[in-house]
Amino acid sequence: MKVLIALGGNAILKRGEKGTAEEQMTNVRATARHLVKLLEEGDRLAITHGNGPQVGDILLKNEFAKAILPPMPLDICGAESQGMIGYMLQQGLQDELYAAGLDLPVVTVVTRVLIDQSDPAFANPTKPIGPFYTYAEVPRLQQERGWKMVDDSGRGFRRVVPSPSPVEILEGKTVAELFESGTLVIAAGGGGIPVVRDNEGVVKGVEAVLDKDRTAALLAEVLGVEILLILTDVPQVYLDYNKPGQHAIEELTVQECKRLLEQGQFPAGSMGPKIESAVRFLESGGDRVIITSLEMAENALAGRAGTRIVR
Amino acid sequence: MKVLIALGGNAILKRGEKGTAEEQMTNVRATARHLVKLLEEGDRLAITHGNGPQVGDILLKNEFAKAILPPMPLDICGAESQGMIGYMLQQGLQDELYAAGLDLPVVTVVTRVLIDQSDPAFANPTKPIGPFYTYAEVPRLQQERGWKMVDDSGRGFRRVVPSPSPVEILEGKTVAELFESGTLVIAAGGGGIPVVRDNEGVVKGVEAVLDKDRTAALLAEVLGVEILLILTDVPQVYLDYNKPGQHAIEELTVQECKRLLEQGQFPAGSMGPKIESAVRFLESGGDRVIITSLEMAENALAGRAGTRIVR
């Protein structure tokens, strides 16, 4: 089967880790082992991934150095993170492929994703990014940098940026051709580098972040895969998550997803975008979405684990 | 004609600039305009590029933040710079293509370059990288980080790393396929991410930098292009450069190159690797190497400017 894998941040860096290159490569190699098992089963894979911790570190390094070096805007930081994570995945995957006796090119494509400059998200930035600041620093940052700042769950103040909807994967045709020719292609990392096309037709980077699962749904459509496999830190989707009566779901239809989204069962910061992305992919002609953990990926593809979402 | 363009650092950032994203995008757009003119002439292009100033800034940002965030090794910093510069080139090129009415996919491939772990360069690191330090800081850096440090032309002390020879472009097959299919492909930025294959067959990143012109010669061979066009900050190669009697050269043969290299006409840090790379490409079957400035690229390809190197 043709499968697009959407790797969560924890496939590359686990909570509580410092973020050293060694930690990340260790995690990536473990991730690669799971993915190579799927390849050994005969599945055809493409890979996309989150970039939260990595782009967070890049932003923080920019802030530390800003007295001397001009900080890079978010689109460029996103591009850096695609190079970094793509490279680590290439290394891990190619070694595990070699160990498994499989010979498959593994390639990362730097990927831009077009968004609509009139997307309503631009009027209402909601996505916190980068370092935490104290209340005292807020007015200066708002004035000097033009940032919108919010109190992030009482942990401090952070910049918020828009999280608009992906409209077109600009390198989509090439990614699809590579996938068709049998290349293990890594694309649209961190949801893609956000760009808009202005009224003169010029494509410009913007200060925004894209939700990686929403972009994954679009990429799955472009690639024509049957299955979108969203790997996260839980083995299944839950109803009443973290509440009394929490229980795992084996299967959901698009209609059930819509109803549960309306009921507010899936929070905006975590499961919500995954379920919305599942709906989008299935309504665009996709066959199946599976949400599970990396460890359960094989079993879930075989129908023995995870949460299946179908039309 | 099929041409591999090797862009010098000044195609992206000029000496004396601060390195803001705006400056870099302005330079990249100017570069893109020149390259699109070549495409309009009917030439088929692939692009590789330097990354000196960009990877230097990434390293410096790592050092600024190292009390809080673990610094990334050189291979990962190189991968970041490929994502960053590749993205900027994609943006600039696609806009200029759009303005010229050309429809061509522009894609960056994150590229690793295999080097031999027994390369003699590892025993004798020569390439200064990253920030300058004072003499007082040297012993601590040597001890804590295991760095080899040198006095860089009296400007301060810097870390030196090996600059080994490129052996194989690991993503070469994919890059060649993209090039053949008519994609404007950007690859092996900064000379490629340096990796070695250890005795167990595991591919590992290493703390080294690759010379972008040497890798360009290898890439030109892999792509089967007729011409390697090396764009730098001078319009021609000079004999007795910066000395009384300096004069420009119109044409050189491989044999003349070898003789002049032996005479020490071309310094190791600048023209030397370009001439050596020209020799390598021509001896591997290449047709022509042209060394010139971005501004003279069109005229040079038409035989009216630059320095031609032939077999």
Domain range enclosing B82: 2-115+169-310
| pLDDT at A169 (0 to 100) | 98
CB contact, 8 Å: B57 with chain A? yes
CA distance A143 to chain B (A): 19
pLDDT at position A270 is 82
- CB contact (8 A) between residue A87 and residue B110: yes
8 Å CB contact of A86 and B91? no
DSSP H or E segment with residue A297: helix A297-301
In a domain, B125, yes or no: no
- Quick: pLDDT tens for A129-140: 988 999 999 999
Is B130 a member of any domain?
no
Interface contact A118, partner B, CB < 8 A:
no
- State both tokens at A137: 């620093």
Nearest chain A alpha carbon to B183: A174
A199 is catalytic: no
- Other C-beta atoms closer than 10 Å to the C-beta of B98 total 17
For the question of residue B243 being annotated catalytic, the response is no
- Among candidates A240, A250, A242, A248, which has minimal Cα distance to A303? A250
Whether residue A259 is contained in a domain is answered as yes
Question: What's the average model confidence in pLDDT over A203-228?
Answer: 97
Residue-wise pLDDT tens digits, B192-240: 999 999 998 899 999 999 999 999 999 999 999 999 999 999 999 999 8
At residue A269, does pLDDT exceed 80? no
Please answer yes or no on whether A91 and B203 come within 8 Å at the CB atom: yes
Residues from chain A that touch B90, judged by Cβ atoms under 8 A, are 110, 112, 171
Average pLDDT over residues B79-107: 96
A 208-247: CB under 8 A from B:
none
Mean pLDDT score, A50-72: 94
Q: Is the pLDDT of residue A234 over 90?
A: yes
Chosen for mutation from B69, B77, B112, B145 (greatest number of chain A CBs closer than 10 Å) is B69
pLDDT of residue A152: 87
pLDDT per residue as tens digits for the range B7-24: 998 899 988 899 999 999
Query: At A9, is the pLDDT very low, low, confident or very high (cuts 50, 70, 90)?
Result: confident
Percent of chain B having pLDDT more than 70? 100
* Domain total of chain A: 1
Looking at residue B97, its pLDDT comes to 95
The two three-digit tokens of residue A257, written as one number: 């997803």
Higher pLDDT, B262 or A9: B262
Complex ipTM value: 0.96
Asked if residue A65 belongs to a domain, the reply is yes
Residue B104 has pLDDT above 80, yes or no: yes
The minimal CB distance from B202 to the residues A65, A95, A105 is found for A95
Chain B residues with CB-CB distance to A181 below 8 A: 177
Closest chain B residue to the Cα of A66, Cα to Cα: B61
B190 alpha-carbon distance from chain centroid:
5
In the A/B pair of chains, how many CB contacts fall below 8 A? 158
Contact present, A282 and A289 (Cβ < 8 Å)? yes
Position A127 in a domain: no
Burial A291-303 (b: 16+ CB within 10 A, else e): bbbbebbbebbee
* pLDDT (0 to 100) of residue A154: 86
Q: Is the pLDDT of residue B147 over 90?
A: yes
- A156-161 contacts, C-beta under 8 A, 24 or more apart: A156/A132, A157/A132, A157/A133, A158/A128, A158/A129, A158/A130, A158/A131, A158/A132, A158/A133, A159/A128, A159/A129, A159/A130, A160/A125, A160/A126, A160/A127, A160/A128, A160/A129, A161/A74, A161/A125, A161/A127, A161/A129, A161/A207, A161/A208, A161/A209
Chain A residues with CB under 8 Å of B49 CB are none
pLDDT band at A201 (very low <50, low <70, confident <90, very high): confident
Q: Which residues in chain B have Cβ-Cβ distances shorter than 8 Å to A108? A: 109-110
Min Cα separation A29/chain B (Å): 11
- Note the pLDDT of residue A241: 87
Q: Are B44 and B223 in contact (CB under 8 A)?
A: no
B133 part of a folded domain: no
Does some domain include residue A44? yes
**Residue B267 banded pLDDT, cuts 50, 70, 90:** confident
Whole-number pLDDT of residue B207: 95
Element (H, E) at B34: helix B21-40
Torsion of CA A169, B52, B237, B225, to 10 degrees: -30
What pTM did the predictor assign?
0.97
- CB-CB under 8 Å, B83 with A82: yes
The pLDDT tens digits of the residues spanning B24-73 come to 999 999 999 999 999 999 999 999 999 999 999 999 999 999 999 999 99
Residue A39 pLDDT grade (very low, low, confident, very high; cuts 50, 70, 90): very high
Q: Look over chain B and give the mean of its residue pLDDT values, rounded to a whole number.
A: 95
Q: How far is B114 from chain A (nearest CA, A)?
A: 12
Residue B206 lies in a domain: yes
In this predicted structure, the answer to whether residue B185 has a pLDDT above a threshold of 90 is yes
Q: Which of residues 152-191 of A touch B (CB under 8 A)?
A: 170-171, 173-174, 177-178, 181, 183
What is the CATH number for B219? 3.40.1160.10
Nearest to B229, CA basis, from B294, B135, B280, B134: B294
Burial class, A238, CB count within 10 angstroms (exposed 0-12 / middle 13-18 / buried 19+): middle
Q: What is the pLDDT of residue A267?
A: 84
Decide if pLDDT at B154 tops 90.
Answer: no
